[in-house]
Structure 1
Amino acid sequence: MKRAFLSLLLLFSTAPFAQSLLSDVQQSVVNAPIIKGEFHQTRALIGVNKKLISEGYFLVDKSKGILWVTEKPFPQTVKITQSELQIQNNSQVVMRLNSESQPGIKYINELLLSIFSGNIQIIEKMFDINGQSTKKGWSLHLTPKKSGPSILRNVDLAGKTVVDFVSFETNTGDLTQINFSKVKTPDSLSPDEAAKFN
């Protein structure tokens, strides 16, 4: 996971150790109302030989939702809130899905917010959790519970005070890996950033 760990790591798989691990992660991750940073995403899709690479930045406002702004290879903005998922190309809305007709949107919003904020309680409701923790950082391997998201095979997370790596594998075998950098927790969004949520 592009992260150095000590050679002797303890794998937490039983309930008491899992609770200890989750407690360590919860205490390590900064709990901030606003998180922003840059991302580098690589997608490997079944049946597609070439990996799809994109770069950009993200904004998380727990009271509003998540903005995923792709700058390369072409501009695109994805806005996810509790009520809808919206995709914009060059400021023009090309897709809008309502959470009432698409209940999965609420799940996506909750999962992403819980990942960025380290809200282990929500993650624990959706997934069985294994992982490891050292002074240099932590990593989690999430497997959906029977009542959890059926579209995912597993999710991997790694970080220290913030989440700096996420990997999603779908049941069809598609793999998305995202590295985060320059992550900050400002007190507020700039006027321009706040306007993007409107």
Structure 2
Amino acid sequence: MKRLCTWLLLCCLSPLAQAFDLQQLSEQLARPEVIHGPFVQEKHLRALPQPLISKGRFVLAKNHGLLWLLQTPLQQDYRITAQGIARRDGNAWQMLPNKSAGAEQNRLFLAVLQGDSSGLLRDFELSLAGEPQQWKLTLTPRSVLLKQVFNQINIEGGELVQRIELMETQGDRTVLRMQDSVATQPLSEAEQHDFAK
């Protein structure tokens, strides 16, 4: 009888013990040292019938930041770190003003990719569904400033983030797809140099 009660208790508790939570997602996303991958960004504007599409590649390095290397429709390199956002100008990096909505969006993006749920919890209500290999995180803004910009942000992924959808209050929408990211390559010398400058 005692064995049966223990077994029943374990059966009841096991779904709770195996539930995928924010802490586990943060740990999973923070695990890789370096992530490389291509991206496709679709900007859906209310005023335009077709989305604006840009493509490029990115490099996310733990303790360094994010290189966002736009390749089409124009070539432009950005570096996003805790210090702010810089744009490549020839061989040098120029820091950009930190007060824009775009700067806030880029800081948010960095927190998402690095699995920094504590940073996100300050500004958003977080709701996670799914399991480690297929999950969806919904961010609903808490702060007045963010409520003016976003209705909601949806993030989906598996081992790594694969899709981010930013739903803006005025009806525009941005979708970022990062389907073929890999976490097996170290930083190249050029990438190390870009982060060091």
List gaps (5 residues or longer) in structure 1: 1-15
Structure number having the greater helix percentage: 2
The partner residue of 1:162 within 156, 160, 163 is 160
Question: Which residue of 1 is the match for residue 171 of structure 2?
Answer: 173
Flag the 1:31–1:109 CA change in 2: closer, same or farther, 3 A: farther
* SS class of match (1:125): helix
The number of residues matched between the two structures is 178
The partner residue of 1:134 within 131, 136, 157 is 131
Question: Which residue of 1 is the match for residue 29 of structure 2?
Answer: 29
Superposed CA RMSD: 3.0
Task: Tell me, in whole angstroms, the C-alpha distance in 1 between the residues paired with 2:170 and 2:177.
Answer: 22
Alignment of 1:41-190 (within 5 A): 41-88=41-88, 91=90, 96-99=95-98, 102=99, 107-134=104-131, 136-146=133-143, 149-150=146-147, 151-186=149-184, 188-190=186-188
Question: Which residue of 1 is the match for residue 190 of structure 2?
Answer: 192
Deviation at 1:118, TM superposition (A): 1.7
Deviation at 1:83, TM superposition (A): 2.8
Flag the 1:93–1:125 CA change in 2: closer, same or farther, 3 A: same
Pair member with larger Rg: 2
Flag the 1:28–1:60 CA change in 2: closer, same or farther, 3 A: closer
Give the TM-score normalised by the residue count of structure 2.
Answer: 0.75
* SS class of match (1:124): helix
AA matched with 1:146: S
Identity rate, percent? 22
AA matched with 2:97: N
